[in-house]
Amino acid sequence: MGLVVFLLTAVLAVVLVLISSTLIRSYTLHGATQYAQTVAEMARTALTESMLNGTTPTLPRLKSRLAETQGLVGLNVERSPANIEQFGPSQEGLPHLDAISAEVITTGRPLYRLEQDQVQAVFRATIPYIADSHGEPNCLSCHQVPEGTVLGAVTIRIRISDILERSYWASLTLAAIILLFVPLLLYLINRLYRPIIRAAEGVESAVARAGDGDFTTRVQTSGSDEASRIAASFNRLMDLLENGLIRISGQIARLVQYERPTNGHLLTETIRAVDELVDAAQFKQAIEEDETKTEVYQRLSQVMRTKLGFSRFSIYEVDDAKNKLVPTLIDGEQSAENRWCDAQILARSESCRARRTGHPVNAFEQPGICTMFVGKGIEPGLEHVCLPVLQSGGVGSVVQVVAPLDEKPHIDQQLANLSVHLREASPVLEAKRLMETLRESSMRDAMTGLYNRRFLEEYLDTLLAGVARNKTQLGLLMLDLDYFKQVNDSYGHEAGDRVLIELARVIRQSVRASDLCVRFGGEEFLVILNDTDAQGAMLLAEKVRAKVEEMRVQLPGGAIQKTISIGVADYPADGENFWQVLKYADVALYAAKEAGRNRVERFVPEMWTGNAGEY
């Protein structure tokens, strides 16, 4: 550093010496030029006065008048040809006209030149005298020449060696002063600004490292100067940023109850985590406005596929009543078959480790932890993560993500985000499930488990729209136990309830899953057979009648046996109004009762005694 300062000082001194020497030389020559012009004017004035006085001017006399002029070492006056023609040559015996004087007389322009030998430096100025009628005195009053004619030239030599020598010594003195004081000045400047420079470099380094996520760098401080105060203020700012980001990250981790993996960039990871929380909050707002839990699952599937980048995943819903898992979405497909797990989990939900323990199952961290995963047999190298969705203290759903082992970094990065979305979805799913349960219970008969009339009224429009769209038929069966009142009178209402429950079981077992069984009221039941004509409805009705006849209901006092009467109608073959056709089935039921009970009757128009359109 000291050598650099010395070299800079030396270069500065040389530059300043050269500049000052050039400027002094230029100033000296300029001063000599003006000096020579003054002497030339004095000579012209003296010559003019002599002519006006009628005397012939002589060069010695002129030199004696100018002898006191400082530095003057030579003075010559040459006449021009025009002047010689009028007054003749000079009588002074001057030397022959040299080339410079001849050029000046010829061109009328002055010439200035520095003539330097080993002893001294002389400034030569050769200045022409030009005839002018406007000045005082009027040159043309004596000279018979045109205006602007060169009358002659005066050559003046001035010694400037002393001036140049003093100038050079002044330059050297200046250089010596610079050499002495500039290092001292640079030292003082360095002493003053070096702490500030170090602080600035420290701030720059800390900011650069902070840009890479490292907020631990601090600027070194010493003393109480301005630089130290700047460094201390910056360090306090960095402390605030680092502690704030660490606190935010910790709060987010506690909020989502999942430790996020980081890439070392604290600020970027914090911003990303906050963005994910905002996305999750918007997701929750959206699913709260969904009508059913199926819509919630579909929206969750969309998030997993588009935002989280999962292509293979499953969502299972826990059916606690039946102790099984129901596939809701498989790889984003609704009602798809189970693909990645052993079928045991569908029949016995405890077979699923996540369902049984209520804890996440991460086979990327612990390969082979769950024996129910069969994905490796489908595609080698696959692993899985299963996250339980807790509802009311138990597992309500299980979300499974399947991916190759080389996607583990992506899985690790997105699991926290998925966990946040599942936490937001959990209470919403629970509320939707509760609402569906309440709605389901309000539309089912509590004793038999069959749908009630309210369900029929709400579902009917959907049912009839499907019939019209598919151009199919509905077989309607109205069923009524024969002499049911005798059971209540003889055995009590509890026995009557057991008979109804057993009848409901027989009816359910006799029809398809797509058919609807409704307790229409009291001991009267309705069965709606999808895509079934009258002939098919008659066959099924006879099957139900025979099974009911064989039915034995065990009571404390023994077993009882009952029969049933059934009326059959066909929609829309028997009428375009569903409720009218239902009335026709009821009419056929009472026809069966009147025909002796324990029989099936198909509605025919002759059975209807009311007006058309009445029901």
**Beta-bridge mates of residue 390:** 395
CA-to-CA distance for 212 and 205, rounded, in angstroms? Answer: 11
DSSP class of residue 595? T
Do 543 and 600 meet the contact criterion of CB atoms below 8 Å apart?
A: no
Do 325 and 346 meet the contact criterion of CB atoms below 8 Å apart?
A: yes
Structure tokens of 233? 């203020």
* DSSP labels, 182-237: HHHHHHHHHHHHHHHHHHHHHHHHHHHHHHTT---------SSSHHHHHHHHHHHH
Structure tokens of 435? 């609402």
CA-to-CA distance for 353 and 375, rounded, in angstroms? Answer: 16
Element (H, E) at 56: none
Going through 344-455 in order, the beta strands assigned E by DSSP cover 361-362, 382-391, 394-404
Nearest to 82 by CA among 151, 169, 141, 179: 151
Do 500 and 447 meet the contact criterion of CB atoms below 8 Å apart?
A: yes
Residue 365, classed as helix, strand or coil, is coil
CA-to-CA distance for 561 and 554, rounded, in angstroms? Answer: 9
- Compute CA 551 distance to the chain's CA centroid, rounded to the nearest angstrom: 71
* Dihedral of alpha carbons 458, 464, 466, 469, sign: negative
Please identify which of the residues 523, 542, 549, 601 carries the catalytic annotation: 523
DSSP class of residue 381? T
* DSSP labels, 260-321: PP--S-HHHHHHHHHHHHHHHHHHHHHHHT-SSHHHHHHHHHHIIIIIS---SEEEEEEETT
Other Cβ atoms within 10 Å of 169 Cβ, number? 10
Task: Assess whether 523 carries a catalytic annotation.
Answer: yes
Q: For residue 40, count CB atoms less than 10 angstroms from its CB and return exposed for 0-12, middle for 13-18, buried for 19 or more.
A: buried
Structure tokens of 296? 């919630």
Residue with tokens 């690790």: 412
CA-to-CA distance for 311 and 368, rounded, in angstroms? Answer: 22
Other Cβ atoms within 10 Å of 70 Cβ, number? 8
Residue with tokens 């066909």: 570
Residue 563, classed as helix, strand or coil, is coil
Residue with tokens 């009571």: 555
Query: Buried b vs exposed e over 109-138: b needs ≥16 C-beta within 10 Å?
Result: ebbbeeeeeeeebbbbbbbbbbbeeeeeee
CA-to-CA distance for 356 and 340, rounded, in angstroms? Answer: 18
CA-CA-CA-CA dihedral for 419, 423, 425, 430, to nearest 10? 140
Residues marked as catalytic? 523
